[in-house]
Amino acid sequence: MPALATPTVVFKSVCRSCHGGCGTLLHVRDGVLVKVEGDPQSPLNHGRLCPIGTVTVDLVNHPDRLQYPRRRVGPRASGQWTRISWDEAFDEIAERLLAIREEFGPEAIALGTGTGRHHIRWVSRFGHALGTPNWCEPGFAQCFHPRVNTCILTFGDFPVSDFTGGTPPACMLFWGHNPLNSGPDGETRFNVREALDTNPKIIVVDPRETELARRADVWLQLRPGTDDALALAFLNVIIGEQLYDAPFVERWTHGFDLLREHVRAFTPEWAVPITWVAAEKVREAARLFARTKPAMLEWGCAIEHTPKCIQTVRALSMLPALTGNVDVPGGWVFGMHGIGRFPSLIENLTPEANAKRLGADRFKLLGGEGADLPSAHIPTLLQAMREGIPYSVKAFLVFGNNTLTTYANSALVYESLMKLDFMVCADLFMTPTAELADIVLPAASWPEIDQIAGLPTVAANVVLANQRAVRIGESMSDEEIFVELARRMKLPVGTESVEEVLNSQLARGGLDMTFAELKEKGSVTIPFKYRKYEDGGFKTPTGKIELYSTRFAAMGYAPLPCYEEPPESPISRPEVAEDYPLVLTTGARIPYFFNSEHRQIENLRKAHRHPTAEIHPETAARYGIAKGDWMWIETKRGRIRQRARLTTGIDPRVIAAEHGWWFPEQPAPEYGVWRSNVNLLTDNQPPYDPAMGTYQLRALLCRVARAEPE
């Protein structure tokens, strides 16, 4: 009689190969993940998956996965390792950290993480339990959190686009954002496409001719880094031509008269030489956005990559406010907060410890009173590692971040990490950053963890269960690592189990269920309510949307949005532009990767084998560069090689380089990190955004040349 086939067990979960949040069905047979498909019942993706999600089986079962802890046995960056047990790893980490804390204080221990995934809040939680205020994540100064912190001070909450409420937008303004190639924070590629299928008016602000730009009614091809000037010109048109929603503005905004006077000089004609955008196109776009309702603003991290990002965010956030598109169906909405606030344990820090947070004394929206979750300033942290100023940082714990590729000014980052006494890295694979560590821990991939996701991020209108379906080798989730370390170190807080923390979040969010019950359902959509401000105003000091920000004024920052030229540009540094005549923009999303991740997955690399930089044919001809040639891209900080993609969809004065590149197939310990990594070109030196500490990742000056084939 033939043996019966082993049955397949299906687990509901949520994809975290980016932080988009697509619902999934995980098919497991004999403890092995054999298939992943989209969950048709998910309100965020309706059964579809992007290219990254479709190769989850390849990710989980990849032969290069880290499967056990390792200790370095040679010099740092020597690539010499030996296998150790989890007990050995935990005991050594606990012993080393406790010794550093005893001799130098807890602030001498820092933690770093990557983009906001399942474990990000657990990184700061462990730091706070340990007593250090020094944790960091690149996005807190350069991506998303400038918008979060600014909007909380301006609106009292963080608004998101209303993709799941049933009312399609009549107008979509995409500003520095290309969501068709990415899925940030619960805004999946699919709900954006569903909104586009309803044929709204489309406005795109982008230096590159993306798919969205080709579909747009109005495409504004601005000079990289001049978003603040363009936004001020929008405000000038909307207010000057009385296109604003007068009843809403009068009843629900504070400081309109001051804003009206402030933007009077920022005409589209004033903006032309700054932005390179024709005045009539600015007027056309501003009129279209103001007159078409409901309208939503889709903004991305491109607006947060220069040292004046907070004022850029402030100016842009006023466009939906002035036009009455706040908390209305199909517009910008405030979330239902279906999960409670994560217990970060920041209350465990004494006032003295908080005062030692690196950068908090200067950058109040990043690390001080204006921050939703205070974090350290990365350039200041790196200086503390490198030079012991203002005090020494001796240890760095890295969870889910390839620091050498994702922090600006990679050469200086490398120099800083090499000065550490002790470094721990938890990851799925060996990376150039992991190769610098003393101990490397095998982290669990998302089908191997238990966690909840409240999406869109901050809003939490949908609550999804991420549940463990398999386990590869000795992998352990970041959350479990933190709990076990807290217990080994006998810390007074932070020792609760992961499930206890998840249950408490669900209870604080008002969901009458446990995590175990949520796993059975897969997801819960919170009943939505619009115009919530009518029940008690906005959660600001004035109870209104603060066009003139009283909180900014109290902290000593400009209360009205203003323009500032990028510190390295053709206008601000003409002497540099003589040698570096082109404007470099970076960070465009690649649909097959997530920042520096997934380049070892062959089915994704086949679709995008090499790093590619966009260059106009006229510019390429001037420098002897042909289609597909390798070319050098160089700034004052370094040079890299990427392959030329010739396109008329970019200004002849601009180069667009891809970010996140390293080559897992290249030899350890460097894996080709110095070849095409755009952060060898970016700058983390002053000036910084005075409120957020943001530095310059775009709008830099560069030059190009043909490189010999490899």
Residue 2: the pLDDT is: 60
Domains 9-60 and 70-142+338-444+475-496 in one fold: no
Which CATH architecture describes the domain 574-706?
Beta Barrel (2.40)
Closest CA relative to residue 430, chosen from 11, 70, 160? 70
- Ordered by start, the domain boundaries in the chain are 9-60, 70-142+338-444+475-496, 158-334, 574-706
Q: Tell if the pTM clears 0.85, that is, is over it.
A: yes
SS3 147: helix
Contact 698, 372 (CB under 8 A): no
Neighbours of 666 (CB within 10 A): 12
Strand partners, 633: 640, 704
Residue 187: the pLDDT is: 81
| C-alpha–C-alpha distance, residues 404 and 257, integer Å | 47
What tokens appear for 529 in the block? Answer: 């309510």
Domain 9-60: CATH class, spelled out: alpha beta
Residue 1: the pLDDT is: 54
Closest CA relative to residue 486, chosen from 98, 69, 84? 98
CATH fold of 158-334? Dimethylsulfoxide Reductase; domain 2 (3.40.228)
The overall average pLDDT reported for the chain is 96
List, for residues 365-423, the tens digit of each pLDDT value: 999 999 999 999 999 999 999 999 999 999 999 999 999 999 999 999 999 999 999 99
Which CATH architecture describes the domain 70-142+338-444+475-496?
3-Layer(aba) Sandwich (3.40)
Residue 4: the pLDDT is: 66
DSSP codes, 228-264: HHHHHHHHHHHHHTT-S-HHHHHHHEE-HHHHHHHTT
Residue 3: the pLDDT is: 62
Amino acid at 233: A
List, for residues 484-543, the tens digit of each pLDDT value: 999 999 999 999 999 999 999 999 998 999 999 999 999 999 999 999 999 999 999 999
| C-alpha–C-alpha distance, residues 312 and 231, integer Å | 7
What parts of the chain have a pLDDT lower than 50? none
Residue 709: the pLDDT is: 83
Closest CA relative to residue 255, chosen from 231, 229, 234, 235? 235
Contact 53, 465 (CB under 8 A): no
